Amino acid sequence: MRKAHHHAVVIVILSCLGASALAGPPRAPQVREGATAKTYVVEMRAKPWSTIFEWLTDQTGLPFVSKYPPPTGTFNFIAKASQRYTLGELIDLLNDGLAVHKYVLLRSPTCFRLIPADERIDKTLLPLVKLDELLMRGHSEYVEVVLPLNVLSAEEYAFEVKKMMGPFGDVVVLRHGNRLLLHDTAGNLRKVLALTQDVEESETRTFTIQGHNTGDVAEMLRRVVPQMIGNRVQVKKPR
């Protein structure tokens, strides 16, 4: 009987995973917030900022808490008739007006806060939101999310993510579970999530295993790693 030869086996895993196989982050939304979300009619003609914050509290039920006084002057926003805005879109409108005063509105689960826009934000104030909840946040809202990775190494990928973030964005490597804790605006984080999914779906990983028959290794991988079933796994002998 001919003996099986054992070689150094190079495993090339082409991660062309479909949506069902890759439980990765959702793509950035291409449409407006869900139809069931509450919307608001907004028309502000020369409204003082203190009045605007009172109106915001009345509309949402969230109190306004801030050690900084409301900006002086007024805010004007006139929308077309019957135009309605989600809360995230409304906060973006207000933050556009607050930008000239160097403030930004921060929404937490318990209140709204007015914070300086040109200073690093205290991370303890940032609301932790789930990936699907990120879609409900305004582009300018500061939040934190946990990003799980399936193929990429969290420690290696953190450097690339940091380059994609804003001036006050931050990345923390959570080695347990191969995850990243991200702090930034929801708009920037949605871009990071969309790019991450694209990278994870196209990432190719190569491993070299010594002293095993190629067929045995391929069968072992398909049995031990369920997510490889149905995906393209190439087993090659090194030259």
pLDDT digits (tens, 9 = 90+) for 197-229: 999 888 655 556 666 676 777 776 666 655 444
Q: For residue 14, what pLDDT is reported?
A: 46
Q: What is the end-to-end Cα distance of the chain in Å, rounded?
A: 26
| DSSP per residue, 112-149 | EEEEETTSPPPGGGSPB--TTGGGGS-TT-EEEEEEE-
pLDDT lower than 50: segments of the chain:
4, 13-35, 227-232
- The model carries a pTM of 0.72
pLDDT of residue 30: 38
Domains of the chain, earliest start first? 1-26+131-239 (3.30.1370.120), 37-119 (3.30.1370.120)
- Quick one: pLDDT at residue 50? 96
